Structure 1
């Protein structure tokens, strides 16, 4: 009868307290089984534990080492959630508005023409200098430690004949560290500056090897 007080023996209370960390459903099922208390409902057990301050010890959080019950299982299809799920390969919003297709060309901050070559990661590998692409098509991969120097100082000229492979260590000399800057020199002096830079760099390398 609703409102009737439920009495527990000292033995029953001791047992309930010792097993309080069980789920309330399991605690009730075993209690009825052991003590034959068909008059006690799950709500009675919950109320008793609440009055006594007996908690299950559960926090609702995953503890280290615990395995989620749905691990390795596929989520059932739900039409409502499927409409809002991210679909592989799809884009929306700002990403879609800013997307550039493969083959698109742009001008870099340094003034080089770049071409998009893929959509993968890392992001910085998606774009490659067009003059480098065209040069390698004719000459093969650029050797390690080398770079391409624009011969006419016009970085927009991507013709392979306008680019020469030089040691990267040569760049400070061509930038005007010890002589007239190559890019701002008159056209007739550019070959001379480049040749002198190569000679001085070679001499420095020989001296370094000898030392």
Structure 2
């Protein structure tokens, strides 16, 4: 029995779902510009049976398997909403500052014909740095 007799009118009834619940495979845009999709995978943080995941990563992993630790995906054309797996390249997370960090090469805003050159240069610098560590 509720504390106030009238409060029962506004409480969820058994079987009711909140108005903001989205069905599986629903898409949304996050504040960083990526498309997220609701997938039937266990959420590692909450244990819930579904979770939202970046759509480009979900589609890429369907084709290529899970991303190894320390790796991430980079949009080759710079368009975060282009979720085609062929548009995404797996790169080491440590390469990201060389592309867009404070001293990076502004990969996101570069001309399309310059992007492959910028990425190749950053990868070469990263490989050189890693080789010096050994």
After superposition, the CA RMSD in angstroms is 2.2
* 1:15-30 alignment, distance < 5 Å: none
Of residues 5, 25, 35, the one that matches 1:113 is: 35
Higher relative contact order (CA 8 A, sep 6+): 2
Would the alpha carbon gap of residues 156 and 205 (structure 1) be closer, same or farther in structure 2, given more than 3 Å must change?
Answer: same
Corresponding residue SS for 1:97: coil
**Count of residue pairs the alignment pairs up:** 120
Structure in which a larger fraction of residues adopt strand: 2
Corresponding residue SS for 2:28: strand
Report the counterpart of residue 93 of structure 2 in structure 1: 168
Q: CA deviation at 1:117?
A: 1.3
For structure 2, list consecutive stretches of 5 or more residues without a partner in the other structure.
Answer: 1-10
Corresponding residue SS for 1:193: helix
Corresponding residue SS for 1:136: helix
Of residues 141, 150, 159, the one that matches 2:84 is: 159
* Contact kept? 1:174, 1:194, Cα under 8 Å: yes
Of residues 71, 75, 93, the one that matches 1:150 is: 75
After superposing on structure 2, the runs of 4+ consecutive aligned residues of structure 1 that deviate more than 2 Å are 84-87, 118-121, 176-180
TM-score normalised per structure 1:
0.52
Would the alpha carbon gap of residues 120 and 148 (structure 1) be closer, same or farther in structure 2, given more than 3 Å must change?
Answer: closer
